[in-house]
Structure 1
Amino acid sequence: MKRFMTWWYAFSMPKRGPDTTPGERERSRYARLTSGFLLLICALFLPLAPIMIFDSPNSPSSPPIGIGTLILLACAFGFGKAGWNYISAAFIVAYNILCISAVMATNPLDPSLLPLFGIFSVSVIMAGALLPPVASLVVGVLCCLDIALISQLVPHTLAYQQMLDKGLFTVTLIVPVSIQLMISVMTYVIMRNLINTIRRADRAEEIVSLQQELALHVRTQVQQKQQLEEGFQKIAETHARISNGDLSVRVNLSEGHMLWNVAGSLNNLLNRMQRMKSDADMLIATRQAAYQVSNVLHQAVTMGTINNVHLPTTGTPLDPVIIELNNVARSATSHSQSRYGNTLGQH
C-alpha cells in the first residue's frame, strides 16, 4: 500500500525538490492530503460513472451528472498536477456539493431524501481540511443557501407537503441548516488550532535544525581557528630557522589544511633558495679550486717541474679538467723517460 501511495503521489503531484522550509512542508502536506482525497473519490465514483452515463434509462439526469462530476474530477487532477493545490481542492469540494445538489434538484423532495442534506457536512469538513480553515465557514454558508434553495424551489411530494403543513419545517430546513453551521464552525476552530499546532511544531523543528547548524558552524570555526593557529605556529618556526640560515627546513602541513597553499608556496621557495645556495657554494668552491690549480701550475712552470705535477680532485666542475691535466702530465713524463733511455743507449 505504501508503495502504491508513493506512486500515486508521484503521478498526481508536481515534481519538486526536498522541502527545506516550514512553508514548503505545509504546501506538501496540503498537496498529499488533496491527492489522497482525490484518490478516494475516484475509487468510489469511477466504477459508478459508466452506469450513470450509459445505463440509467429511468433517470434522465444521471448522464449529465456523471459527465459533470467527471469534468470536476479531471480538473481537480489537472490543477493538482500543475501545483495549484487550493484550486484542485476547490474542485473536489465542488464535486461533492454537485453530487448532492443534483440528486436533490432532479427528484421531487421527499422525507426519504432529507438525510442527504447531512452529506453536505462532508463538503464542509473537506473544505476545512484541504483549504484554509476559513473555507469551512464559506462552504458552510453556501451549503445552507443550497439547502434553502432546494427546499423552496424543488417540487415536493405529498408526504413532504404534509410535513410542511404540520409545521415541521424545522425538520426540513432549520435542522439541516443548523447542522451545517455547527459543523462549519467546529471544523474551522479545530482546523485552525490543528494548523497552528503543526506550524508551531514546524517552527520548533526549524529552530532545532538551526541550532544544530549553528553548533556545527561553531565547531567548524573552532577547528578552523585551531588549524590557523597551528599553521601560523609552524610557519613562524620555519621563518625563525630560515633566519638562522637553515634552508633545509620545510613547513609540514597536510593537504586540506587552510594554510596548505601558503605552506606549499613557501616550501617551493625554500627548495629554490636551497638550490641557489648549493649552486652558489659550488661556484665559490669552483673559484677556490681554480685559484689553487692556477697557483700549482704557475709554480710548476716556474720551477720547471710541470711534468711532475699531480693535481688532486676538488669535487667541483673543474675535476674533469684536473684529471685531463694529470693525464697530460703523466704522458709527458713517460715520453721524457723514453727519450732519456734512448740517449743512454746510443752512448
Structure 2
Amino acid sequence: MIYEYWYAGISGLNCMKKKKLREILKTAEMIYYIEEIKLTELGILTDREIQALIKAKKQQDIKEKWEMLEEKNIRFIPYFSEEYPVRLKNIPAPPYALYVRGRLPDSDRPAAALVGARNCTHYGERMALEYGEKLAENGISIISGMARGIDGAGQRGALNAGGMTYGILGCGVDICYPGEHRGLYQDLIKKGGVISEQSPGSPPLARYFPARNRIISGMADIVLVIEAKEKSGSLITADQALEQGKEVYALPGPVTSLLSQGCHRLIAQGAGILLSPEDLMETMGICLSKSRQNKSSEKKVLESPENMVYSCVGLFPKGLQELAQETKLAPEILMEELITLELQGFVKEISKNYYVKMR
C-alpha cells in the first residue's frame, strides 16, 4: 500500500491519467519500477508528466510520511480499494485517492449536500440548522464543506440531532480550516468523518476548493443551496451536481437580498424549491420519523401578550420600534416579554434592540 500512497501523491499527473496508467500496469509498485523508455512506449503520459513521475521516485521520505498517517489515524483509500465510495466512482474525474479521519458515508444511507454562503444571514443560518437537523434525524447523511456560515450551521444541526455528517476539506485532513471550527472538526471525526483528496499537510489553497466541491456533490444524492450570491462557490457545487446527474434544490429568500440572488437564479433555471424539510423528504420518498412527527405536533402554548410578541418576531431582524407598532404594547411591557421569550430560547437579540425568532 505504500506504493499506492506514493503514486497518489504525485503532482503533475491528473486523476484520470493516474487511473489509466494504474489500470494498464495493475499496481503502483509496477509503476514505481517501470523504466523510463517503457513508460514512453506506452504513449499515455506527456514528456512533462513522465519527468514528474521520475522526480517523484527520488523522494526520500515516503516511508516516514506513510507512518505519519498511522500515527494520526488517517486512512488512505485509493480508487481501486473496495472501500472507495460507490457514489464517487460514478462522477466525471473522481479523486484518485481519499484521506479520511473518522468514517466514510454509508453507501446504503441517503445523503444530501448542504452548502451556502460563508457570510450568511441569520435567516440562512437558521434554515441550515433546521434542514441539517431534520434531515439527519430522519436518517439522511449531511455532506458539506465545514466552512463558515451555512456549511457549518447545517453540519452542527445534523450533530445536534445525533445524525451522521461528513466534512469535505480543501486541505489535508490533519488541518482544521477554518480554525474557529475546531470543535466542529473534532465532532465530525467522532460522529462522521472529515475527507479530502489532498495529502495530509496540504494547506487550504484557493485552487483546491473548486475541485473539493465536486466531491461534496459527488458524495450526495441531492444538493441543497441555502444562500448564495450570483457568483459563488455554492453555485459551482450546484453546476457540478447537475453535471453528475444530481438534483439541485434552492432556498428562496427576499428578492432584495444579495445572498438570495444565486438561489433565485437556480430556481429560475429549474432547481427545486425548498419549502420545508418535510416537503423535501416526501419528495425523496422518506417517511418522517415518529419522534419528529411527535415534535412537529407539539406547539408551545404562550400566554397573551407573550404570544402576541412571539408571533410578531420573525426570521429577519425587527427592532423595538417596529415591534411596538405591531403589538401596540407599552415599551416596558414589550421589553419584559422579549426578555422572557429570550430566556426561554424562543427569540434572540442579534444586535442592540433587534430580535429574531429562534423556534
Which TM class, normalised by the smaller chain length? Answer: under 0.3
Higher relative contact order (CA closer than 8 Å, sequence separation 6+): 2
Structure 1 length-normalised TM:
0.21
Between Structure 1 and Structure 2, which shows a larger proportion of helix residues? 1
Structure 2 length-normalised TM:
0.20
Between Structure 1 and Structure 2, which shows a larger proportion of strand residues? 2
